[in-house]
Amino acid sequence: MKINTAVIATGNPYKLHEIGEILNGFSIKIMSMNDVGLADLDIIEDGNSFEENALIKARTVMKQTGYMAIADDSGLEVDFLDNEPGIYSARFAGENASDEENNEKLLRLLEDVAPDRRQARFVSVIAVVMPDGEYFTVKGYLYGTIAHRPIGQNGFGYDPLFIPVGYDGLTLGQIDGKEKNKISHRAKALEKMQIIFRERLGDGKIKDSSTR
């Protein structure tokens, strides 16, 4: 099996950079969708959960390339909104919505909500699918609150609105990228992925089909 190479199954350049930076220490060659000629591949994410969507992406890319595929599905869950936008985070304000449009909709829905009721969390599920079809998933969280207005130019998506717990009012949009990579929901999921690689990938075979 081609386990010395992994394709990161995303067309989002920010996610590609973030995941690539975190995976920099792995002894696995990391390739992008563009590297394997799949830059224009349209994957329909019609799952009902982050796990299902991550697996859809990873399985599709693995079948197209024959390489191990790593896919992330992530989003924002806001307590006051019954965990919305959730899996619809990227298109909260409609198909092809911009980050600004999604942020504006979120702020409108929370316009009169008090600070102590603006709790939220970022969720990331990483799916790893091997060339023989074996797979596992891991999940990471970053807890915080939603600010009353966008602050900061770093990151993407809802980062300018999200204040992580313990950061004294700073949004992810104000936090340095390297620091964000240390605390992010993806970083926490990838840490779990690294442990599984070390424990179960030594012989090139994932021993359990699913890990949560």
What's the rounded Cα separation, in Å, for the pair 90 and 21? Answer: 22
66-124, pLDDT tens digit by residue?
Answer: 999 999 999 999 999 999 999 999 999 999 999 999 999 999 999 999 999 999 999 99
Q: How many CB atoms lie within 10 A of CB 183?
A: 16
**Domain 2-200, what fold?**
Maf protein (3.90.950)
Quick one: pLDDT band at residue 172, thresholds 50, 70, 90? very high
Question: Quick one: which of 92, 73, 71 has its CA closest to 161?
Answer: 92
Compare 209 and 6 and report the one with higher pLDDT. 6
Q: Can you give the pLDDT at residue 102?
A: 98
Distance separating alpha carbons of residues 147 and 158, to the nearest angstrom: 10
Strands 162-164, 84-85: pairing is unpaired
Calculate mean pLDDT across residues 21-41: 83
Active-site residue 132, yes or no? Answer: no
- Tokens at 170, concatenated: 């700073």
Q: Which of 40, 42, 73, 116 is catalytic?
A: 73
DSSP 8-state code for residue 212 = -
Q: 174 phi and psi, to 5 degrees?
A: -105, -10
pLDDT of 211 strictly over 80: no
pLDDT digits (tens, 9 = 90+) for 175-210: 998 898 889 998 899 889 888 877 765 544 444 434
**The model's pTM:** 0.86
**Encoded amino acid at 33, one letter:** M
Q: Give me the percent of the chain exceeding a pLDDT of 90.
A: 66
In the chain, where the domains are located: 2-200
What 3-state DSSP class applies to 87?
helix
